[in-house]
Amino acid sequence: MYPFREGSFAVRNGWYVAGFVNELGRKLLARTILGQPVVMYRKEDGTAVAVGGRCPHRHFPLGESCLKGDAIQCGYHGITFGPDGQCVKIPSQAHAPRSYRIPTYPLVEHGIWAWIWMGDPDKADPDKADPALLPDLEEIGAAGQDLVLRPFYVEHVKGRYQLLNDNLLDLTHLGYLHAGSIGTEDNASAPEELTKEHRVLRSRRYIRDAVPPPVVAQFNGDDIERVDRVIGMDFYLPGFHAGISDMQIAESNPVRQGEVLNRGRVYHAVTPETPTTCHYFFALSARTEEEVDRAFPYLQPVIAEDKFATEEIEKMLAIIGENPDELLIRSDRNAVEGRRMLQAMMDAEAEAPQGSPGR
Ligand code: FES
Ligand SMILES: [Fe+2]
Higher pLDDT, 354 or 31: 31
Q: Are 3 and 322 in contact (CB under 8 A)?
A: no
Expressed in angstroms and rounded, the spacing between residue 296 Cα and the centre of ligand 2 is 15
Apex 238 CA angle, 326 and 191, nearest 5 = 55
Helices (H), 107-247: 161-169, 174-177, 186-189, 214-220
CATH code that applies to domain 148-351: 3.90.380.10
Cβ of 76 below 6 Å from ligand 1: yes
Amino acid (1-letter code) at residue 186 = D
CA atoms within 13 A on the CB side of 149: 21
Expressed in angstroms and rounded, the spacing between residue 312 Cα and the centre of ligand 2 is 14
Calpha distance 281→114 (Å, rounded): 11
Least confident of 48-52, 117-121, 259-263, 344-348: 117-121
Q: What is the dihedral of CA 345, 347, 351, 353, to 10 degrees?
A: 40
Cβ of 72 below 6 Å from ligand 1: no
**Residue 87 to residues 69, 123, 162, 325, Cα–Cα distance (Å):** 14, 18, 37, 50
Output the residue whose Cα is nearest ligand 1's atom 1: 58
Report the nearest atom of ligand 1 relative to the CA of 55.
2
pLDDT tens digit string along 273-283?
999 999 999 99
- Cα 279 to its chain centre, rounded Å, is 7
Expressed in angstroms and rounded, the spacing between residue 149 Cα and the centre of ligand 1 is 41
Expressed in angstroms and rounded, the spacing between residue 88 Cα and the centre of ligand 1 is 13
Choose one of 76, 87, 88, 89 to mutate for the ligand 1 pocket test, by most ligand atoms within 8 angstroms of C-beta: 76
CA atoms within 13 A on the CB side of 61: 12
Expressed in angstroms and rounded, the spacing between residue 211 Cα and the centre of ligand 2 is 19
Helix (H) or strand (E) holding 212: none
**What is residue 354's predicted lDDT score, i.e. its pLDDT?**
57
CATH code that applies to domain 15-133: 2.102.10.10
Q: What are phi and psi of 268, to 5 degrees?
A: -120, 120
Per the prediction, the chain carries an average pLDDT of 93
Apex 155 CA angle, 183 and 339, nearest 5 = 65
Ligand nearest to the CA of 306: 2
**What is residue 98's predicted lDDT score, i.e. its pLDDT?**
93
Q: CA Rg, the chain, in Å?
A: 22
Cβ of 77 below 6 Å from ligand 1: yes
Using the predicted structure, report yes or no on whether residue 122 has a pLDDT greater than 50: no
Q: Do domains 15-133 and 148-351 have the same CATH topology?
A: no
Using the predicted structure, report yes or no on whether residue 190 has a pLDDT greater than 90: no
Calpha distance 130→165 (Å, rounded): 23
Expressed in angstroms and rounded, the spacing between residue 167 Cα and the centre of ligand 2 is 6
Using the predicted structure, report yes or no on whether residue 59 has a pLDDT greater than 80: yes
Check residue 232 and give left, alpha or beta (phi > 0: left; psi -120 to 50: alpha).
Answer: beta
Expressed in angstroms and rounded, the spacing between residue 169 Cα and the centre of ligand 2 is 10
Cβ of 60 below 6 Å from ligand 1: yes
Higher pLDDT, 325 or 189: 325
Calpha distance 241→121 (Å, rounded): 25
Calpha distance 79→13 (Å, rounded): 30
Output the residue whose Cα is nearest ligand 1's atom 4: 77
Ligand nearest to the CA of 91: 1
Calpha distance 272→9 (Å, rounded): 9
Cβ of 79 below 6 Å from ligand 1: yes
Quick check: helix, strand or coil at residue 299? Answer: helix
Domain ranges in the chain are 15-133, 148-351
Amino acid (1-letter code) at residue 138 = E
Cβ of 55 below 6 Å from ligand 1: yes
Quick check: helix, strand or coil at residue 87? Answer: strand
